Amino acid sequence: MVDNNLLFQYLLRLGDDQQILSQRLSEWCGHAPTLEEDLALANIALDLLGQARSLYTYAGEVEGAGRDEDQLAFLRYENEYTNALIVERPNGDFAHTITRQLFYSVYMDLHWNALLSSKDETVRAIAAKAVKEVDYHVRHAAEWVIRLGQGTEESHQRMVEALEEFAIYTGELFEMDDLAQQMFKAGVGVDLTLLRPEWEQQIAAVLGEAGLRMPEVNWMQTGGRSGEHTEHLGHLLCELQYMQRAYPGMTW
Amino acid sequence: MYSQGLIGADGSTVETEEFLEAFQKRVDAEQKIEPNDPMPEGYRRTLVRQISQHAHSEIVGMLPEGNWITRAPTLRRKAALLAKVQDEGGHGLYLYSAAETLGVSREELTDQLLTGAAKYSSIFNYPALTWADIGAIGWLVDGAAIMNQIALCRCSYGPYSRAMIRICKEESFHQRQGYEILLTLCRGTDAQKKMAQEAVNRIWWPALMMFGPHDSASTHSDQSMHWKIKRFSNDNLRDKFVNATVPQAEYLGLTVPDPNLKWNEEKQGYDYSDIDWDEFWRVVKGDGICNRDRIKARQKAHREGAWVREAALAFAEKRAGAADAARTAAE
């Protein structure tokens, strides 16, 4: 029997990852380097938003306290969001955004695929939809990383800098804290450490084709899973929560 | 969204009488003109101007609404708005492609937008200040756009006409979405109703301006009508819009900000005040509240994306070079 409170926390965590990255990607809308990328990034943001909505809605049901997707998405304090730090980092230039997309999408591709055999039927159903979407996210990011890595001296250099910035946030994605372990034991969640070798291999393959490599990392940043965030999340939440905070309790 | 009645297109032609007559005959017979068909230079130029103004409007139109994506009040509204703005980018893409069939490149057209040589719809030089503006833009701005675009579905130029048919379907969805946003606000709290009324006060007149100058002042309308690029006059479409929209405002319980608005039984339509044409021309000429910000935002995206586009091009060339080398080696 799965503890409902743990399942609730677990679903929020997964939902927060998708929601916060969706929010970041939607900041690009209207400002991307090409019109095609405006559409592509908005498309990915929409997929992530859809996944977040399914996860929050289910989390609300599991909690049983009458909270809906919006109350969970908008009305929590900063330290109650448990997304990984990588998704809240600012977009930076296009190389930064694409690097984050590659790291994250390859991770979620493996993660969603593993969740296809979750014992929780709703999680399985959400994963079944998500695997189709994330497949495109991986291809989109990988193609761009190769293009930018091989493109010009400038694009190559920007990729080197972006890899340098985001590499230190990748370790957290595979952490097995107490919640992750309990959910794994209950058959709902995934042993994330098992995904890591495959993730490293896939990232190395893409970077290899791009003429790039993963920088050496001495220390992996962490904290998001326990609500200890970077300074950036608060600002993101100011925008995200603005309407719900300024006009509490209204229907939109 | 849409570009307003065409401003400053030069439709003058130098072709022979016979050529022009033969062309006009095809147009009059409602035959669609296709990209490789002979056409008067003025026809081509007018279309390039009109289609590119329209494409630019879609692209600049992403900005005022994009401004609210990250602040949308619910996840459902955010998803709908993100999808809507994405649709607008898609419309921009089809329209640039339609313009390319007339022998101009997207790069040239983009340059014209960024240097201010090309116009886009002035409506986007007004700000989207509150969430209610997202509703009012959908309802009134997309509503006005549809009025224009339904007429353009029968435009004599095939690629434009076909693009319009597809775009209209999406626009009418956007319009209903916008109306539904306002309906929710109008059934909500006093603060929400006030927000809705203020947005309509802001957007009503600029929406009416989207139909362009009065017919008497619209320089190139006659030629465009003759060529069936345009099928209805600016004033005619504006009247149709007012007649369709006022009852919708009544249903919402919102006031149209025009003290002279009154049903005229005899003409079976509404009488309404004249547009503030000084404001219209001021905004067209660049002095609206957002003109500079909009262009700056486009210039910034273009400038900051230059290295990405260069990299993509360099990569494509390397790939093509490698493929050539492989072919040569195989031969």
- Distance of alpha carbon A59 from alpha carbon A63, whole angstroms: 6
Across chain B, what does the average pLDDT equal?
93
For residue A62, give its domain range. Answer: 4-214+226-246
Q: Which amino acid is at B132?
A: A
Alpha-carbon gap: B151 to the closest alpha carbon of chain A (Å)? 27
A-B contacts (CB, under 8 Å): 140
CA distances from A131 to A115, A126, B318, B324 (A): 10, 9, 32, 37
Are the beta carbons of A59 and A8 closer than 8 angstroms?
A: yes
**Over residues B99-104, mean pLDDT:** 96
Q: A120 at the B interface (CB within 8 A)?
A: no
* ipTM score above 0.90: yes
- The domain that holds A166 is classified in CATH as 1.20.1260.10
**Over residues B123-147, mean pLDDT:** 97
Residue A14 counted as domain residue: yes
Q: Which chain A residues contact residue B191 at CB under 8 A?
A: 247, 250
- Distance of alpha carbon A59 from alpha carbon B28, whole angstroms: 62
Residue A124 counted as domain residue: yes
Q: Which chain B residues contact residue A32 at CB under 8 A?
A: 301, 305
- Structural domains of chain A, count: 1
Domain boundaries, chain B: 2-286, 289-330
Residue A251 counted as domain residue: no
Which pLDDT tens digit goes with each residue over B191-200?
999 999 999 9
Are the beta carbons of A130 and A51 closer than 8 angstroms?
A: yes
Instruction: For chain B, give the percent of residues with pLDDT over 70.
Output: 95
Of the candidates B59, B297, B315, the beta carbon closest to that of A150 is on B315
Are the beta carbons of B81 and B111 closer than 8 angstroms?
A: no
Residue A75 counted as domain residue: yes
Of the candidates A33, A73, A247, the beta carbon closest to that of B305 is on A33
| Among the four given CATH numbers 3.40.50.300, 2.40.50.100, 1.20.1260.10, 2.40.160.40, the one describing domain B2-286 | 1.20.1260.10
Q: A43 at the B interface (CB within 8 A)?
A: yes
Q: Do B308 and A148 touch (CB under 8 A)?
A: yes
**Over residues B13-40, mean pLDDT:** 91
Q: Do A29 and B304 touch (CB under 8 A)?
A: no
- Distance of alpha carbon A174 from alpha carbon A164, whole angstroms: 19
Alpha-carbon gap: A251 to the closest alpha carbon of chain B (Å)? 7
Residue A119 counted as domain residue: yes
Tokens of A234: 């608060």
Which pLDDT tens digit goes with each residue over A14-65?
999 999 999 999 999 999 999 999 999 999 999 999 999 999 999 999 999 9
Residue A59 counted as domain residue: yes
Instruction: Identify from A16, A31, A51 which residue to disrupt to test chain B contact, counting B C-beta atoms within 10 A and taking the largest count.
Output: A31
pTM: 0.95
Q: A244 at the B interface (CB within 8 A)?
A: yes
Q: Do B315 and A250 touch (CB under 8 A)?
A: no
Contacts 24+ apart (CB under 8 A), A228-231: A228/A79, A229/A78, A229/A79, A229/A81, A229/A85, A229/A88, A230/A85, A230/A88, A230/A89
Between CA B213 and CA B219, with CA B217 as vertex, the angle to 5 degrees is 100
- Distance of alpha carbon B1 from alpha carbon B167, whole angstroms: 9
- For B8, other C-beta atoms within 10 Å of its C-beta total 11
**Across the strands, what pairs with B271?**
B262
Residues 76-95 of A with CB under 8 A from B: 93-94
Q: A68 at the B interface (CB within 8 A)?
A: no
Are the beta carbons of B259 and B273 closer than 8 angstroms?
A: yes
- Distance of alpha carbon B301 from alpha carbon B112, whole angstroms: 15
Q: CB-based contacts of A117: which residues, under 8 Å, 6+ apart?
A: A124
Instruction: Identify from B63, B74, B81, B192 which residue to disrupt to test chain A contact, counting A C-beta atoms within 10 A and taking the largest count.
Output: B74
Dihedral, CA of residue B226, residue B227, residue B231 and residue B234, to nearest 10 = -70
